[in-house]
């Protein structure tokens, strides 16, 4: 028979109870209904056991409330997300951020059994009209809400999923911004790169933007790229990881960098360098050889190529803010210049890092007919993503082809 554990006063300790030797604090260790290990503390054993009883009652009450369909949406979401052990850390963090930021303190407090289709529809419109969310951002929220409701359906807590069909209803509204990213035109991307390269204020950003625009890589993939990931002799880039910047702990809003796998399995790939990309890497290498290489170490990785003026990795939002500054400065100067030269200005529209990826893919589709090659270089997990962009480009090309035919054939 195992010897009973005792505290410093000789009292037998129950299962889950322990006493810390350093300060004699009593600790009760337990597992919550979502499988997470939790702890509660007390300097007094009697008070600790009172806490144990309350915890047990709360857990049973919570499950009873859930079974009766009276639990709120937050309870069901926490139950759902605790089962998603296969999610990558970045995906899990993104889901938790979106839910906590937009749902938990408002819609999340509604009872699961009382939520109707119209409630979900009204909430989504509130996020679009009042919180000014783009539809693609709303889709991320829907990605976690829909399976949360589905879990309640499968547990026989509710009969139907009230979120079913809501996104289709929103997307079919005329004039609705679906969050579609449009590529820059050749004129616009050339204007952006020329202005950046020739600007004494922004020219140090030129290598980073050249690589983004010349490879179609995601911003996290380029932030995380290291000298050992590129082969300058064979002119190949090995994309095998990504760097993300998210809140890492539930108890704080502080963000930090972390290394993760690319967004999908297809994201692990090799991308050939075109001449301007090779030159951008060589320019950056020569600069760092003279001024010093990056000393940043992240999750055991070092030798990162692109860093900011403080020697740290680039925050994606800081890169987007720089794009905004370049665009605004360029447009202001271009409008005045075009007025003097009596021509229409080439205006650069609002865009972000991801638009550069979309722009690269568009140019690629304009010059390559093998869809599988485009998919492989882009790292698209689903061929439909590649096809959507290819179809958009093909429509534009058809219009250009008909116009060219009309110009060249004088038959009418």
Tens digit of pLDDT for each residue in 192-213? 999 999 999 999 999 999 999 9
Q: Is the pLDDT of residue 166 over 50?
A: yes
The residue among 148, 162, 166, 107 whose CA lies nearest residue 131 is 107
- Average of pLDDT values for 135-148? 90
Higher pLDDT, 222 or 178: 222
Strand partners, 243: 259
Q: Tell me if domain 73-171 and domain 186-404 are identical in fold.
A: no
Helix (H), strand (E) at residue 197: helix 186-198
The residue among 69, 15, 49, 57 whose CA lies nearest residue 33 is 57
- Mean pLDDT for the chain? 86
The residue among 319, 401, 308 whose CA lies nearest residue 353 is 319
- Structure tokens that stand for 350 in this block: 């609002």
- Average of pLDDT values for 387-401? 74
| 14-28, 103-117, 161-175, 242-256: which is most confident | 103-117
The residue among 110, 93, 94 whose CA lies nearest residue 149 is 110
Question: Which residue pairs, CB below 8 angstroms and at least 24 apart, start in 240-244?
Answer: 240/268, 241/301, 242/90, 242/218, 242/267, 243/298, 243/313, 244/90, 244/93, 244/220
pLDDT at residue 388, as a whole number: 79
- Average of pLDDT values for 367-383? 88
- For the entire predicted model, the pTM comes to 0.64
What is the spatial distance between Cα 27 and Cα 48, in angstroms, rounded to a whole number?
8
pLDDT at residue 412, as a whole number: 54
pLDDT at residue 176, as a whole number: 47
Q: Is the pLDDT of residue 141 over 60?
A: yes
- Average of pLDDT values for 298-326? 93
- Average of pLDDT values for 124-128? 94
pLDDT at residue 157, as a whole number: 86
- Average of pLDDT values for 69-87? 86
Which residues are CB-contacts of 38 (< 8 A; sequence separation ≥ 6)? 29, 30, 31, 32
- Average of pLDDT values for 78-84? 88
C-beta neighbour count of 77 within 10 angstroms: 25
Q: Is the pLDDT of residue 85 over 60?
A: yes
Specify the CATH number for 186-404; select among 1.10.357.10, 3.40.470.10, 1.10.443.10, 1.20.210.10: 1.10.443.10
pLDDT at residue 178, as a whole number: 47
pLDDT at residue 62, as a whole number: 57
DSSP-based helix, strand, coil % in the chain, nearest 5 = 55, 10, 35
Residue range 73-171, CATH number = 1.10.150.130
- Average of pLDDT values for 318-322? 95
pLDDT at residue 1, as a whole number: 47
Higher pLDDT, 117 or 10: 117
Which residues are CB-contacts of 208 (< 8 A; sequence separation ≥ 6)? 222, 280, 306, 314, 319
pLDDT at residue 38, as a whole number: 79
Query: In degrees rounded to 5, what are phi and psi of residue 222?
Result: -75, -40
- Structure tokens that stand for 120 in this block: 């979900």
Q: Is the pLDDT of residue 60 over 60?
A: no
pLDDT at residue 22, as a whole number: 87
What is the spatial distance between Cα 215 and Cα 307, in angstroms, rounded to a whole number?
18
Say what percent of the chain tops pLDDT 90: 54
Backbone Cα Rg of the chain: 28
Q: Is the pLDDT of residue 339 over 60?
A: yes
pLDDT at residue 6, as a whole number: 87
Residue 389 pLDDT class (50, 70, 90 cuts): confident
User: Helix 383-408 crosses helix 371-378 at what angle (to 10 degrees)?
Assistant: 130
DSSP 23: T
Domain coordinates of the chain in residue numbers? 17-67, 73-171, 186-404
Residue 54 pLDDT class (50, 70, 90 cuts): confident
Higher pLDDT, 393 or 315: 315
Q: Is the pLDDT of residue 151 over 80?
A: yes
The residue among 358, 367, 353 whose CA lies nearest residue 386 is 358
- For residue 291, give Cα distances in angstroms to 208, 284, 314, 371, 377: 17, 10, 18, 42, 33
Residue 368, SS3 per DSSP: coil
What is the spatial distance between Cα 362 and Cα 350, in angstroms, rounded to a whole number?
17
DSSP 124: H
């Amino acid at each position: 028979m195992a010897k009973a554990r005792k505290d410093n006063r000789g009292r037998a300790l129950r299962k889950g109870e322990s006493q810390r030797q350093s300060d004699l604090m009593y600790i009760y260790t337990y597992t919550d209904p979502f499988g997470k290990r939790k702890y509660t503390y007390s300097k007094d054993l009697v008070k600790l056991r009172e806490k144990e009883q309350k915890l047990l009652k709360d857990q049973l009450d919570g499950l009873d409330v859930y079974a009766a369909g009276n639990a709120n949406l937050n309870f069901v979401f926490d139950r759902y997300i605790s089962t998603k052990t296969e999610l990558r850390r970045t995906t899990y963090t993104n889901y938790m951020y979106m839910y906590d930021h937009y749902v938990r303190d408002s819609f999340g407090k509604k009872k699961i059994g009382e939520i109707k289709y119209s409630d979900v529809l009204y909430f989504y419109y509130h996020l679009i009209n009042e919180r000014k969310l783009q539809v693609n951002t709303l889709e991320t929220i829907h990605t976690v809400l829909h399976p949360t409701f589905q879990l309640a359906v499968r547990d026989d807590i509710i009969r139907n999923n009230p979120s079913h069909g809501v996104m289709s209803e929103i997307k079919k509204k005329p004039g609705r911004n679906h969050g579609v990213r449009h590529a820059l035109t050749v004129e616009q991307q050339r204007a952006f790169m020329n202005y950046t390269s020739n600007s004494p204020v922004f020219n140090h950003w030129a290598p980073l933007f050249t690589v983004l625009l010349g490879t179609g890589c995601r911003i996290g993939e380029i932030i995380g790229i290291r000298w050992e990931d590129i082969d300058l002799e064979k002119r190949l880039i090995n994309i095998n990881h990504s760097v993300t910047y998210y809140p890492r702990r539930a108890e704080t809003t502080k963000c930090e960098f972390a290394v993760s796998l690319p967004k999908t399995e297809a994201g692990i790939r090799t991308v050939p360098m075109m001449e301007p990309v090779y030159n951008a890497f060589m320019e950056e290498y020569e600069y760092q050889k003279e001024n010093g290489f990056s000393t940043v170490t992240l999750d055991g990785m070092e030798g990162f190529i692109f860093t900011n003026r403080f020697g740290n990795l680039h925050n994606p939002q800081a890169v987007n803010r720089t794009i905004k500054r370049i665009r605004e400065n360029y447009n202001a100067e271009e409008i005045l210049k075009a007025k003097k030269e009596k021509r229409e200005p080439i205006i650069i529209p609002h865009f972000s890092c991801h638009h550069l990826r979309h722009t690269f893919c568009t140019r690629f589709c304009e010059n390559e007919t093998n869809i599988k090659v485009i998919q492989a270089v882009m790292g698209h997990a689903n061929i439909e993503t590649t096809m959507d962009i290819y179809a958009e480009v093909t429509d534009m090309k058809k219009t250009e082809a008909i116009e060219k035919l009309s110009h060249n054939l004088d038959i009418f």
